[in-house]
Amino acid sequence: MGYASNGAGRAAHEALLARHDAELRLMETMKRSLQAKMKSDREYALALSAAAAQGQKMDKCEELNGSVIASAWRTMTEEWENTSRLIKANAEALDSRALDRLNTLMTERRKARKVYQEDHSKISSQFTQLSEEVQRKQSEYQKCLESYKQMRAKFEENYLKCPTSRGGRKLDETRDKYGKACRRLHRAHNEYVLLLAEATECERALRTASLPALFDQQRRLGEATASSWKGILMEVVQRSDFGTEKFKEIQNKIESSVQNLRPQEEYKEFIEKYRSPPSTPISFNFDESLVEDTSGKLQPNQLTVDNLTVEWLKEKLTELETILQDNREKQTALQGPEIIGNGVCKNNNTGMTNGVNGVDRHSPPPIPVTTAEPVKLLELRVSERKCARQAEMIRAALAELGCEEAPSGCPDLSAEVVGVDSLDGSSPDHQDRSSLGSKASMDALRLHLHSIMPPKPFFRMFTRPFRRKSVPSSPALPPKTYRSSSEGPSDSVSVSETERSLVDQEWFHGVLPREEVVRLLRADGDYLVRETTRNHARQLVLSVCWGQHKHFIVQTTPEGHYRFEGAAFPSVGELIAWQRTSGVPVTARSGALLRRAVPRETWELNNDHVQLLDKIGRGNFGDVYKARLKTTGQEVAVKTCRVALPEDQKRTFLQEGRILKQYQHPNIVRLIGIAVQKQPIMIVMELVPGGSLLTFLRTRASNLSSRTLLAMCRDAAGGMRYLESKNCIHRDLAARNCLVGDDNIVKISDFGMSREEEEYIVSGGMKQIPIKWTAPEALNFGKYTSLCDVWSYGVLMWEIFSKGDTPYAGMSNSRAREKIDNGYRMPAPEGCAEDVYALMLRCWEYEPDKRPHFHQIYTIIDNIYNR
């Protein structure tokens, strides 16, 4: 710093002043930071106190009398309150002590800087005055010397004219003037010599004594300031230390209360207080009134085996046996190979010979309950007991039937209704019967049959089970159209629709995000099917608008069929078609009905129609390809999303497509579509031949005139003016995110960070923010508006006119940010016109309200271009 005598120069003086300024800025920064810390400490103390109060709300709950856990929790919340008070007290102490001391130190430092500058100026002015006096005396000496030379020349001339007499008036006068000139010269000489000696001694004193003493005084003052500064920091440390004795005492008290818990005493008082005999078993009895009108076909507490139920009973038995087998395997895994069921050992062969897959046909023994058994094992045993009981009843009912043909489960309706077989026109002798001959009556009967048996493949399920023996077999139903008998859609469902592949269904929207789905479903009964991934497994989801938006996972049976709560179908298309036509809610609890299928929008493309060609880049979410649309042959650019990305990042990826699909402007890259039918998700955009503007500028710098660069700025301003009118904040405007098309037209691209809001506040951190392109208010407060894009546009203009140079070259992000806050702005690029640079500076105004809007920027650039 130049505190020694050999450093008391001009450079040291300027460096010392700069150091003073830097220290004052550091103190100001510390002051703001301490104020923020005190604010956060007070808020934390308040929040902790609120948490303690919340935790103490159960304190007077009578049901928890005697609870050791509640007692420990009470102690913990009380100590939270004490911690809150201690933190608040520390914050107040910092405010009243450390912050006051820092303010005082700042005042003293400013005063010391002023005194130093005055003292240094005084010493410097003394030396300057002496130097000026030496120059003045030297000039006076020079004049005396010239006068002396003139008088001597005149004297010698007159003396030579009168060589004999050596006298005369004129010679005397000349001699007198010559003598005076000689005296003045000698006096000036002596004064000059003495002044030089004075100046030499003064300079030596200033250089070796005064300035070093001044600098040494500043060193001592600096050390004293640093000592006070250290004291302030130490107080901050002490007031921020959670390891002090007071905090340790609180923590030890909390830890002690928890460590002293005796779990075996938790329910001791409760059990003693509420000790009571076992509850009375609940009896479940069949309501016999339900079967009074079934003509004896259905009997209480007995399974009915007929052609309506035999197939279902067999499938149910198979399902129960599968569940029992899985149950046994899970129990073996939980408790070991010796236990295989309800406490039945492998070596016990009693009652096992008549079982299926090793399951006893007789009622299982009571479930043994021990405190050592895990709850999961007990749950498995309860489940096994229920399944075993149902399987036993089904096997007994099927055994009684033996090999006989299953009896008809329908009453003889031939005298009352048209036979079911007449639906396909195969029984003309019945066609004149009219009791239930109407189309509506048959639809009602068909829906009733749907409700009491699991269907075979849709549109063939009415042809076999209900055909009477006296009626000849008829062919399966031809492709035909059905409508729902309840309130439903006006459109119809055909066989060809249900047999199409899932991707071809108009209501299948692939991996469309949930947010887009909610936007598409507007009226009650609107529905679509989409695909999602949960725990790395693909799942199909039916999304329905019914009061609110509901989402149902399509369940898959062991046979590979699809269902919700009711019947299962071989394909999702048949399941959706049946749900729509039957008028049956998707689930009883939701009551949601399917009325109108929401078709894919025009921008939803089929992944199979996109042929990837060459990889042309890489983005944040995946690779970028040149591709071709198979349907039109058009070459396009395709952004892909990596399959392994989390769902939230996939939503962020698709956000660019959601924003772009509504924009049409020559200076905005055009969206062609989004392929979401399957993975990977693709955003398909127009292929802009010139590629990135940044690369274009760097590779063609020598061929770009100022007028061309100005036109590029105008294009970018036109695109941003359009976005501003749509309340879209780009947030990542830079040359790397612009594309160059035909005739050097610039198009704004990369909307991954964009937001459609007038003002957007970032609350989740500032990761991946382009620091050197981002406005100060966005960096400091997370507040984004279109005026933040104006700041970025100024940097983009600088990039364009510097032909691809890096902004704030040689500076780190933090250094650039600090210099911008201190007023630094990049100099004009070489060859940049003054009015263009003036516009850049207007875009870089620190206060957002002082920056021009994009419609003003476009007008300014257009006027410059047209000049």
Q: Which residues are designated catalytic?
A: 732
Q: 800 vs 165, 716, 746, 780, 828, CA distance in Å?
A: 95, 11, 11, 27, 12
Q: 197 vs 122, 184, 209, 210, 390, CA distance in Å?
A: 21, 20, 17, 18, 125
Flag whether 639 is marked binding.
Answer: yes
Q: At what angle do helices 169-205 and 99-161 cross, to 10 degrees?
A: 160
Please state the separation of Cα 807 from the chain's center in Å. Answer: 27
Q: Cα dihedral sign for 587, 588, 591, 596?
A: positive
Flag whether 618 is marked binding.
Answer: yes
Q: Looking at residue 424, what DSSP letter applies? A: G
625-633 long-range CB contacts below 8 Å, 24 or more apart? 626/687, 627/684, 629/605, 629/672, 629/684
Flag whether 619 is marked binding.
Answer: yes
Flag whether 623 is marked binding.
Answer: yes
Q: Rounded distance, CA 529 to CA 553, Å?
A: 10
Flag whether 616 is marked binding.
Answer: yes
Residue 611, phi then psi, degrees to nearest 5: -105, 110
Give the residue among 440, 540, 431, 435 at the shortest CA–CA distance from 484: 440
For 171, residues 6+ apart whose C-beta sits below 8 A from its C-beta are: 155, 158, 159, 162
CA angle 178, 180, 182 (to 5 degrees): 70
Flag whether 82 is marked binding.
Answer: no
Is 503 strand, coil or helix?
Answer: helix
Q: Rounded distance, CA 564 to CA 555, Å?
A: 6
Phi-psi region of 327 (alpha: psi -120 to 50; beta: other; left: phi over 0): alpha
Flag whether 622 is marked binding.
Answer: yes
Give the residue among 186, 196, 206 at the shortest CA–CA distance from 137: 196
Pairing mode of beta strands 596-597, 526-534: parallel
Q: Rounded distance, CA 58 to CA 54, Å?
A: 8
- Residues 474/463, Cβ–Cβ less than 8 Å: yes
The residue with tokens 């007995």 is: 302
DSSP result, 302-347? ----STTTHHHHHHHHHHHHHHHHHHHHHHHHHH-TTB-SSS-BTT
Cα maximum dimension of the chain: 184
Q: 864 vs 714, 794, 834, 839, 842, CA distance in Å?
A: 10, 16, 11, 11, 15
- Residues 358/352, Cβ–Cβ less than 8 Å: yes
- Residues 123/205, Cβ–Cβ less than 8 Å: no
Flag whether 59 is marked binding.
Answer: no
For 749, residues 6+ apart whose C-beta sits below 8 A from its C-beta are: 669, 685, 688, 737, 738, 739
Q: Rounded distance, CA 492 to CA 606, Å?
A: 25
Flag whether 617 is marked binding.
Answer: yes
Phi-psi region of 414 (alpha: psi -120 to 50; beta: other; left: phi over 0): alpha
Give the residue among 413, 222, 90 at the shortest CA–CA distance from 422: 413
Is 169 strand, coil or helix?
Answer: helix
For 103, residues 6+ apart whose C-beta sits below 8 A from its C-beta are: 31
Residues forming the annotated binding site?
616-624, 639
Residues forming the annotated binding site for ATP?
616-624, 639
